């Protein structure tokens, strides 16, 4: 748990970074400041006019209207100018706040695109969403309240003191002596609330992650009757959020009653001292009324400043979570690397070692050499490193040691975009974006013609069921679209690859959700697509890779056997055991 010094440093660091995002909006800051000063000046001058008005009303039948009417007119003008300036100041403040929040959210989303896959894999997706959406929104709320009220509050306090000093120094000293109490309250609140608001943001992120996880896999939760356990986990996370929120709100709610108590002390002190001063002829009744008005105006900003500081603590706690995301190490830059423009289809893996977790090796001393146009199947038991090899080939992860070369180039010496543009991939886990079926098929080639999209759909054997949908290719779907089966979603992903016509092809259990009859048809389509193209095929159903030119058999991160189907079966080794376990009587 962070100590007070760390909390203060973290808060100051977050505030400094937020102010850095405000630099592009300096002209609006200047305008907002001008309007705020005019508004405060008019507000502070009003009690002077009110005092003059009181002084010209001597009695019921003795009112100097000649002097009173200009005072009333002046008050009306001040009210109008104050209202207009506050409206213009709010416009400037809103533009500043939402501009900063927009820039912060854009940078956070852009950061996600540059983060290594290892970060996305090792963090709750719900927590990441909470940082980009909820925490940035908290920053917005804190800044929106803070910019206007903090500045105008400070100006009001300083201006009120100046005006009070021009009326009577002795009564002003009474106000100044009680002021430290008003300063103590926000200081106490800010110390207590930052840590609690930070805990609240973390708890909110955990709850968002849990909800995202359970709703995303609701069918699995229901199928395994996990509803009670899920409810218990939700109740626990919800209670943790409620507990820390209650504590945070409790400390922040101390602001209003305590500052109002201090306000009462100030008003009482001014009233008593001012009354005795008026009795002795030191000030007029009108000046005393002005002083009492100033006493109210002087103490009111302390209420607002205390509330602002509380909001700012919540905003800074949320901002710190966003900045921690922005400070995460990015993928190594592609700057200065060359484009991989020509693909001859050769892939060489030399003495590669890799592990997801330090000191827990997964792939060791891995060697693989694939010729142009060769169909290479990778098989083995679950957890042996098959998909990891694909992650390394696509450079989703970098090798710990050794080298992977594509077309004779070390993949660390070429840009990721040019490397990945040479591959097309169909994964076991399907993903469809929210959009029309046409948009999903053309995801990798947005400029494709209607004829090409339909041809790819026919090649993937999904044209027939697409035509049966309400709007055909214009039907809007998403990854959670309930009307499509898992197999139909996978066929759409296959159609997406059919449209791209890549240099190299990766199929990771690409037909796992498709029925046997359709699988045979799709395999035939893949066979045509793979002609002349280097292909990597990961499959648990070994019947689908019998025609592969080379079969890599992996176990515990190592290649234990290598060859075509016939030679491996003749060896009677590990591959033969795997194959027979599926097909032997």
Who has greater pLDDT, 523 or 96?
96
- Say whether pLDDT at 1 is over 50: no
Q: Over the chain, what is the mean pLDDT?
A: 79
The pLDDT value given to residue 99: 86
> Which of 73-82, 135-144, 150-159, 482-491 is most confident?
73-82
55-68, pLDDT tens digit by residue? 777 555 566 677 77
Who has greater pLDDT, 248 or 504?
504
Q: In the block, which residue shows the tokens 């100051």? A: 12
Classify each residue of 10-26 as buried b or exposed e, where b means 16 or more C-beta atoms within 10 Å of its C-beta: bbeebeebbeebbeebe
**478 secondary structure, DSSP code:** -
Percent of the chain with pLDDT over 70: 88
The pLDDT value given to residue 108: 87
With bands split at pLDDT 50, 70 and 90, how would you rate the model's confidence at 145?
low
Say how far apart CA 428 and CA 538 lie, in whole Å.
10
With bands split at pLDDT 50, 70 and 90, how would you rate the model's confidence at 364?
confident
Backbone phi and psi for residue 400, each to the nearest 5 degrees, phi listed first: -75, -35
- Say whether pLDDT at 227 is over 60: yes
Say how far apart CA 114 and CA 40 lie, in whole Å.
46
Distances in Å between the alpha carbon of 51 and those of 36, 55, 283, 481?
A: 24, 6, 11, 70
Say how far apart CA 568 and CA 553 lie, in whole Å.
9
- Say whether pLDDT at 585 is over 50: no
Provide DSSP, 507-540: EESTTTTS-HHHHHHHHHHHHHHHTTSEEEEE-S
- Say whether pLDDT at 6 is over 60: no
Who has greater pLDDT, 393 or 142?
393
497-521, pLDDT tens digit by residue? 888 877 888 888 777 667 777 777 7
Nearest to 536 by CA among 424, 380, 432, 416: 424
The pLDDT value given to residue 186: 60
Q: In the block, which residue shows the tokens 């002084």? A: 55
Q: In this structure, are strands 375-379 and 62-63 parallel, antiparallel, or unpaired?
A: unpaired
Beta bridge partners of 366: 352
535-564, pLDDT tens digit by residue? 888 877 777 788 888 888 888 878 888 888
Of 177-191, 218-232, 490-504, 511-525, minimum mean pLDDT range: 177-191
The pLDDT value given to residue 61: 58
- Give all domains of the chain, ordered by start, each with its CATH number: 22-326 (1.20.1560.10), 347-583 (3.40.50.300)
- Say whether pLDDT at 430 is over 80: no
Q: Tell me the two tokens of residue 301.
A: 């900003």
Say how far apart CA 112 and CA 322 lie, in whole Å.
12
Q: What is the mean pLDDT of residues 6-27?
A: 75
Cβ neighbours for 75, distance < 8 A, ≥ 6 positions apart: 46, 49, 50, 53
The pLDDT value given to residue 9: 60
Backbone phi and psi for residue 103, each to the nearest 5 degrees, phi listed first: -65, -40
Say how far apart CA 99 and CA 111 lie, in whole Å.
18
């Amino acid at each position: 748990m962070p100590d007070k010094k760390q909390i203060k440093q973290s808060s100051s660091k977050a505030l400094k970074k937020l102010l850095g995002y405000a630099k592009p909006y300096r002209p609006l800051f200047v305008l907002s400041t001008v309007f705020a000063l005019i508004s405060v000046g008019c507000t502070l001058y009003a009690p002077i006019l009110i005092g003059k008005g009181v002084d010209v009303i001597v009695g019921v039948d003795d009112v100097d209207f000649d002097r009173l009417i200009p005072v009333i007119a002046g008050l009306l003008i001040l009210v109008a100018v104050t209202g207009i300036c506050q409206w213009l100041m709010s416009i400037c403040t809103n533009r500043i706040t939402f501009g900063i929040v927009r820039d912060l959210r854009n940078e956070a989303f852009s950061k996600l695109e540059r983060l290594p896959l290892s970060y996305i894999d090792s963090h709750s997706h719900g927590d990441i969403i909470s940082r980009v959406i909820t925490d940035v929104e908290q920053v917005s709320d804190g800044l929106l309240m803070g910019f206007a009220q903090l500045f105008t509050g400070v100006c009001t306090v300083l201006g009120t003191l100046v005006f009070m000093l021009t009326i009577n120094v002795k009564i002003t000293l009474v106000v100044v002596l009680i002021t430290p109490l008003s300063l103590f309250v926000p200081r106490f609140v800010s110390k207590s609330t930052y840590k609690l608001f930070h805990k609240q943001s973390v708890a909110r992120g955990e709850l968002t992650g849990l909800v995202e996880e359970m709703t995303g896999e609701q069918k699995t939760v229901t199928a395994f009757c996990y509803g009670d356990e899920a409810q218990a986990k939700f109740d626990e996370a919800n209670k943790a959020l409620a507990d820390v929120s209650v504590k945070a709100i409790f400390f922040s709610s101390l602001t209003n009653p305590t500052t109002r108590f201090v306000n009462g002390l100030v008003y009482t002190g001014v009233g008593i001292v001012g009354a005795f001063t008026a009795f002795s002829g030191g000030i007029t009744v009108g000046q005393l009324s002005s002083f009492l008005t100033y006493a109210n105006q002087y103490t009111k900003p302390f209420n607002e400043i205390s509330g602002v500081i509380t909001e700012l603590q919540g905003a800074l706690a949320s901002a710190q979570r966003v900045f921690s995301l922005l400070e995460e190490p990015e993928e190594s830059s592609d700057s200065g690397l060359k484009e991989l423009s020509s693909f001859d289809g050769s892939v060489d893996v030399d003495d590669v070692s890799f592990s997801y977790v330090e000191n827990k090796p997964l792939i060791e001393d891995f060697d693989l050499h694939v010729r142009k146009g060769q169909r290479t199947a990778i098989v083995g038991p679950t957890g042996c490193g098959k998909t990891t090899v694909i992650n390394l080939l696509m450079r989703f992860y970098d090798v710990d040691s050794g080298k992977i070369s594509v077309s004779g180039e070390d993949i660390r010496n070429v840009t990721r975009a040019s490397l990945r543009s040479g591959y097309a991939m169909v994964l076991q886990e399907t993903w469809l974006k929210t959009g029309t079926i046409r948009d999903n098929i053309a995801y990798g080639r947005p400029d494709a013609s209607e004829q090409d999209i339909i041809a790819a759909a026919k090649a993937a054997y999904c044209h027939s069921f697409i035509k049966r949908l309400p709007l055909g290719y214009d039907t809007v779907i998403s990854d959670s679209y309930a009307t499509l089966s898992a197999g139909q979603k996978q066929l759409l992903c296959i159609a997406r690859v059919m449209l791209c016509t890549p240099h190299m092809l990766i199929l990771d259990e690409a037909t796992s959700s498709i029925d046997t009859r359709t699988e045979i048809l799709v395999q035939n389509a893949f066979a045509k697509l793979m002609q002349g193209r280097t292909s990597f095929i990961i499959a648990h159903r070994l019947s689908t890779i019998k025609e592969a030119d080379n079969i890599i058999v992996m176990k515990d991160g190592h290649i234990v056997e290598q060859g075509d189907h016939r030679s491996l079966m003749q060896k009677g080794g590990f591959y033969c055991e795997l194959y027979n376990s599926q097909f032997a009587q």
